[in-house]
Amino acid sequence: MSDKRGWTDHPLVQLTRVRYREFFREPEAVFWVFIFPVLLTAGLGIAFRNRAPERTVVAVVTEQPAGGRVADLLRHEDALDVMLLSDTAAKEGLRTGEVALVVVPQRGRSLEYRYDDTRPESRTARLLVDDALQRASGRRDRVAVEDRLVREPGARYIDFLVPGLLGMNLMGSGIWGLGFAIVDARKKRLLKRLIATPMSRIQYLASFALSRLTLLFMEVGLLLGFAILVFGVPLRGSLPLLVIICLLSSLSFASLGLLIASRAQTMEGASGLMNLVMLPMWIFSGVFFSASRFPDAIQPFIQVLPLTAVIDALRANILRGAGWQTLAPELTIILLWMTGSFFLALKLFRWR
Amino acid sequence: MRTSQEAIALQVRNLRKAYPDVVAVDGLDLEVYSGECFGLLGPNGAGKTTTIEICEGLNTPDSGEVLVLGRRWGQDDRALRELLGISLQETQFSEKLTVAETLQLFRSFYRVGPDPTDVIAMVQLQEKAGSRVGQLSGGQKQRLALACALVGDPELLFLDEPTTGLDPQSRRQLWDLIEAFKSDGRSILLTTHYMDEAERLCDRVAIVDHGRTIALGTPRELISRLRAEHVLEFALAEDQVVDEDPLRRIDGVCAADRRNGTYRLQVGELHRAMPALLHELRRQGVQLAELRTHSATLEDVFVSLTGRNLRDE
Ligand SMILES: Nc1ncnc2c1ncn2[C@@H]1O[C@H](COP(=O)(O)OP(=O)(O)OP(=O)(O)O)[C@@H](O)[C@H]1O
Ligand SMILES: [Mg+2]
């Protein structure tokens, strides 16, 4: 009989250690939670890294005698890549998008620009071409201007992407981590066996929260550290605020995972439910591109999704250095999801 | 921790539990005295697990009364759980934990109890203490389940088929454990399909069928109620049949029946019945293909009560 027990014999400590053991003894889980997000960041970061500014391709139609002279004038412009094409080839180029704009010299000294005004690079080409030709024909600028080029980290795609991936990772590990572990224990009747002991049910659930929170530091640290060291992603906001956003987000997704797992009896049922819950967020919450690109009609729906709030808050903190007041709406949404799903899960939860 | 010495460790009165398609427990009564090992016997689907899980507070009855160590479920469940040791019919413990880690976890839930290493030694899993649960054999897993039931130093032990799937040696080891536990004055309710196990371990048994107790008493009492200490079984050479009525009139034969081509006689005095039987068979002109006798067991009690074998589907 032993009555004197150390702190490691406290049930909450024991239960939390079980969570760690179950996680770290599953190499696949470790891969998907820690390694995969870093690989994804590396891959996307390399694919979308900033290159030297691209040159816009424009074509000059050769059928008119003035074509060659116009093309020569345009070749002085660094940002333009000028081709001499037949009328049909130029049309084809416009259709396939290889050519941003076609210049068709007209009789006399007038010109015709053919382009698609919905394509941003075509509109840019229109401005560049017109500016070059007008100046070559003697137009004088009235205001003196000077170009100073500023290429800032924080405005690149990788900077936009990293907070999105971070949010997506927090969601995945929260929902999967909790959902699968609980449904598995229920299916094996381990839950039933556990509640046959004097174990406190709250401590059982708390062990998931505790292990989540500590794993979180590794998860976020690894991904953010990689992004900062390798891609120079800036960290403009306050670190304590970032930690709090991550903690709340993680707990909020863990609650959602608990809610999903509260009744499911089989892995198949649980993973179906998880996908159903996560899919809209993968699509709408702005992981890979801004959520504001979706139509206004569905914006209210998108804005209340927990992942949207999490990613918005992360981006605002990491990229723009936003403070508490600015983030209040997002933090409120995250907190509401957390408490709402937690209490609903407690109400619905089946231990057998 | 053991303060109360109730005369009755577990009392169940008029228990009923119906599922949509079957009445699992149908007005069952039982009492387990302190210091006794009580066995629930019955065929598959008899309602043993349902009954035991209601007693464990893991299932709710439709009606009836359950008093566990003098208390009702729903009052101070946590305190009551400190006093119970439970092994469910089928639990899979976490496969990624080791035996020692699993026991440490379960030990942490109880205020008092033996050291996990002592319990591991008790169920003879020392060699496997550091192995993952996923790598244990079926029997070793059963012993782990028993260890988890013992780790809180329980007053009352519920064991649902604790020895199913064990080899004879492990079963005997488990019996020793259960007997040692009982000799401390603590009580056990167990279910089993093994009649030898019930006869060896249980002070009293209840035979349950279709959710009802059909016989209750010490194994010896139940067997002696058959008024026949022996069972004589024989089979005939291909397709031959024998008229059963003359068999029943043989001196010393209490009952005779036939199932699946095997004739079964309950016999009080074997030395008188046997020659008479052989004589009668010769008179009817049939040939024996097989002849066996054994001392009457609980299995025979069950068969004579229900006309079915315990392990028939
Ligand atoms: N959750 C449930 N839902 C519906 N029916 C159930 C449920 N649990 C048990 N039953 C039914 O109740 C009856 C009694 O089941 P129980 O598990 O108590 O039998 P048992 O005596 O333990 O059998 P075994 O020896 O096979 O373990 C069975 O017919 C079973 O199908
Ligand atoms: Mg059963």
- Atom nearest to B211 CA in ligand 1: 14
Percentage of chain B modeled with pLDDT above 70: 96
- Give the nearest ligand 1 atom to B17 CA: 12
Are A14 and B88 within 8 A, CB to CB?
no
Is A199 within a domain?
A: yes
Q: State which residue of chain B sits closest to A16, comparing Cα positions.
A: B105
Final residue of a structural domain among A86, A114, A149: A149
Closest CA to A103 of A121, A90, A120: A90
B45 alpha carbon, closest ligand: 1
CATH of the domain at A136: 3.40.190
Residues A43 and A64 placed together within one structural domain of the fold: no
Residue A18 lies in a domain: yes
What dihedral do alpha carbons A108, A109, A110, A116 form, nearest 10°? 120
Query: Does A180 share its domain with A263?
Result: yes
**For residue B311, what pLDDT is reported?**
57
Last residue of a domain, one of A115, A131, A149: A149
Same domain, A214 and A327: yes
Q: What is the pLDDT of residue A202?
A: 92
Q: A176 near A138, Cβ under 8 Å?
A: no
Tens of pLDDT along B177-193?
Answer: 888 888 888 999 999 88
Q: A171 and A97 in one domain?
A: no
Task: Supply the DSSP symbol for A54.
Answer: P
- Render pLDDT for A222-237 as a digit per residue (tens, 0 to 9): 999 999 999 888 899 9
Q: Which ligand is nearest to the CA of B41?
A: 1
Dihedral, CA of residue A12, residue A14, residue A19 and residue A22, to nearest 10: -170
User: Is A243 found in the same domain as A270?
Assistant: yes
Q: Is A1 among the domain residues?
A: no
Query: How many other C-beta atoms are found inside a 10 Å radius of the C-beta of residue B161?
Result: 20
- List, in sequence order, every beta strand (DSSP E) within chain A: 56-61, 80-85, 101-105, 111-114
Please tell me the total count of domains within chain A.
3
User: In chain B, whose CA is at the least distance from the CA of A6?
Assistant: B108
Q: Which domains does chain B have, with CATH numbers?
A: 8-223 (3.40.50.300), 227-295 (3.30.70.980)
User: Does residue A315 form part of some domain?
Assistant: yes
Minimal C-alpha gap between A263 and chain B (Å): 17
- Contact, B276 vs B250, CB < 8 A? yes
Structure tokens at B186: 């603590």
Choose one of B50, B89, B159, B160 to mutate for the ligand 1 pocket test, by most ligand atoms within 8 angstroms of C-beta: B50
Minimal-distance CA residue to ligand 1 atom 30: B45
**Residue A294 lies inside a defined structural domain of this protein:** yes
The predicted model scores a pTM of: 0.81
Q: Both A179 and A321 in a single domain?
A: yes
Judged by CB atoms closer than 8 Å, whether chains meet at A14 and B58 is answered as no
Task: Examine the domain organization and report whether A138 and A192 are in the same domain.
Answer: no
Of A63-67, A243-247, A249-253, the least confident? A63-67
Query: Looking at B20-161, which runs of residues are DSSP E strands?
Result: 22-33, 37-41, 63-68, 84-87, 156-160
Question: Are A303 and A187 within one domain?
Answer: yes
Tokens of B111: 């205020």
* Distance, CA of A94 to CA of B245 (rounded, Å): 106
Asked if residue B127 has pLDDT above 50, the reply is yes
Q: What is the pLDDT of residue B97?
A: 96
Q: Which one is predicted more confidently, B264 or B307?
A: B264
Residues A113 and A174 in one domain: no
Beta strands A101-105 and A56-61 are: parallel
Domain ranges, residue A31:
7-47
ipTM: 0.85
pLDDT digits (tens, 9 = 90+) for A125-172: 999 999 888 888 888 888 888 888 776 666 788 888 999 999 999 999
Least confident of B97-111, B152-166, B243-257: B243-257
CA diameter of chain A: 108
The answer to whether position A211 is within a domain reads: yes
Same domain for A171 and A221, yes or no, is yes
Range A152-171 burial, b when 16+ CB lie within 10 A, else e:
eebebebbbbbbbbbbbbbb
A62 and A27: one domain?
no
**Is residue A115 in some structural domain?**
yes
Ligand 1 site, residue B44, Cβ cutoff 6 A: yes
In terms of Cβ atoms closer than 10 Å to its own Cβ (0-12, 13-18, 19+), residue A34 is middle
Q: What angle do CA A326, A328, A331 make, to 5 degrees?
A: 125
CA distance A31 to chain B (A): 17
End residue of a domain, out of A149, A174, A198: A149
A188 and B113: CB-CB below 8 Å?
A: no
Q: A163 and A247 share a domain?
A: yes
| Residue-wise pLDDT tens digits, B22-78 | 999 999 999 999 999 999 998 888 999 999 999 999 999 999 999 999 999 998 899
Tell me the pLDDT band of B262, cut-offs 50, 70 and 90.
confident
| Domain assignment of residue A16, yes or no | yes
The ligand 1 atom at the shortest distance from the C-alpha of residue B43 is: 25
